């Protein structure tokens, strides 16, 4: 396992993109901080609710919502986050 992974997903195909990233991170034994687009946060929040109902231990899948500069940017540079998986524009990713 990598450790803690930050998963930043875009507004288009929000459930599909989150599911791809979350499934891979869980299969690798990682804990997850999932940051959905501020335009479509409810799919990630619903995924977290379903994960709890399915028995995923607390703290394995965490969701943070908010604007990219306020939540995505700090997540991407946090020293306790071991890996970032980002899907989005080149302009946003290079900030």
CB 45 within 8 A of CB 19: no
Measured distance CA(38)–CA(59) in Å, rounded: 22
Q: Who contacts 23 (Cβ-Cβ below 8 Å, separation ≥6)?
A: none
What pLDDT digit, counting tens, does each position of 48-91 carry?
999 999 999 999 999 999 999 999 999 999 999 999 999 877 77
What pLDDT digit, counting tens, does each position of 1-39 carry?
899 999 999 999 999 999 999 999 999 999 999 999 999
What predicted TM-score, i.e. pTM, was given to this entire model?
0.93
CB 73 within 8 A of CB 84: no
User: What does the pLDDT read at residue 55?
Assistant: 97
Measured distance CA(47)–CA(53) in Å, rounded: 10
């Amino acid at each position: 396992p990598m450790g803690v992974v930050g998963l930043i997903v875009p507004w288009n195909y929000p459930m599909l993109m989150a599911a791809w990233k979350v499934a891979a991170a869980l299969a690798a034994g990682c804990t997850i901080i999932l940051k959905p687009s501020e335009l479509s946060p409810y799919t990630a929040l619903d995924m977290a609710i379903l994960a709890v109902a399915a028995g995923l231990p607390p703290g394995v899948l965490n969701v943070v919502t908010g604007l990219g500069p306020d939540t995505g940017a700090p997540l991407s540079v946090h020293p306790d986050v071991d890996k970032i998986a980002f899907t989005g524009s080149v302009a946003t990713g290079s900030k």
